[in-house]
């Protein structure tokens, strides 16, 4: 990744200072071991897991002439594979029910130049969310998407 996790992740302190509960746990969501470590860190800190918010993502504009394999794979690995891996790591902790929220984008259905790869990742997130909703619903796990 181009930027370090430290630069990309917000601090937990403003939340805890306001009386909320938060912990900062870093990792590369496109790697199974890191995704598992993020979930394990949350369980260790909070004692349980009720909700998963798949918010890690990358956005990089590129014209079709400038799309490279690296550009494509980096965005799909973080935006789509990362969502799947974190969700997979969290499932065993949500067996009694819970909520999974994925972050999509209006880009998934808006025709905006230079966003073909990014929009593709968000369209994939929409499909993943729908599939997981039907798969996990019978287990009392809600799966919804937000499209800012």
- Given pLDDT bands bounded at 50, 70 and 90, which one contains residue 1? very low
Does residue 118 carry a catalytic annotation?
Answer: yes
Query: Which residue range is the domain that position 107 belongs to?
Result: 5-146
Q: Are 54 and 102 in contact (CB under 8 A)?
A: yes
| Residue found by looking up tokens 């969502």 in the block | 83
pLDDT of residue 9: 57
CA 64 to each of CA 67, 79, 80, 92, 117: distance values in angstroms, whole numbers, following the listed order: 5, 19, 20, 40, 9
45-92: pLDDT as tens digits: 999 999 999 999 999 999 999 999 999 999 999 999 999 999 999 999
pLDDT of residue 23: 87
Which entry of 80, 86, 118, 124 is annotated as an active-site residue? 118
d(C-alpha 122, C-alpha 102), whole Å: 10
CA 138 to each of CA 21, 73, 96, 128, 142: distance values in angstroms, whole numbers, following the listed order: 30, 33, 11, 16, 9
pLDDT of residue 83: 98
The CATH code of the domain that includes 57 is 3.40.50.720
pLDDT of residue 10: 67
pTM (two decimals): 0.90
Written as one string, the DSSP assignment of 104-127 is: --GGGTS--TT-HHHHHHHHHHHH
Number of domains in the chain: 1
Written as one string, the DSSP assignment of 19-85 is: T---------TTSHHHHHHHHHHHHHHHSS--EEEE---------GGG--HHHHHHHHIIIIIHHHH
d(C-alpha 61, C-alpha 53), whole Å: 24
d(C-alpha 55, C-alpha 74), whole Å: 16
């Amino acid at each position: 990744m181009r930027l370090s996790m430290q630069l990309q992740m917000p601090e937990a302190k403003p939340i805890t200072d306001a009386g909320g509960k938060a912990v900062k746990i870093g990792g590369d969501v496109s790697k199974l071991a890191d995704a598992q470590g993020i979930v394990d860190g949350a369980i260790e800190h909070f004692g349980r897991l009720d909700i998963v918010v798949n918010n890690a993502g990358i956005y990089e504009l590129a014209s079709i002439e400038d799309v490279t394999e690296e550009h494509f794979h980096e965005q799909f690995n973080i935006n789509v594979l990362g969502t799947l891996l974190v969700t997979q790591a969290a499932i065993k902790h949500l067996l009694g029910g819970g909520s999974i929220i994925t972050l999509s984008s209006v880009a998934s259905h808006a025709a905006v130049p230079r966003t073909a790869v990014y929009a593709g990742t968000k369209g994939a997130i929409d499909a993943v969310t729908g599939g997981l909703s039907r798969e996990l619903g019978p287990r009392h796990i809600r799966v919804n998407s937000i499209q800012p």
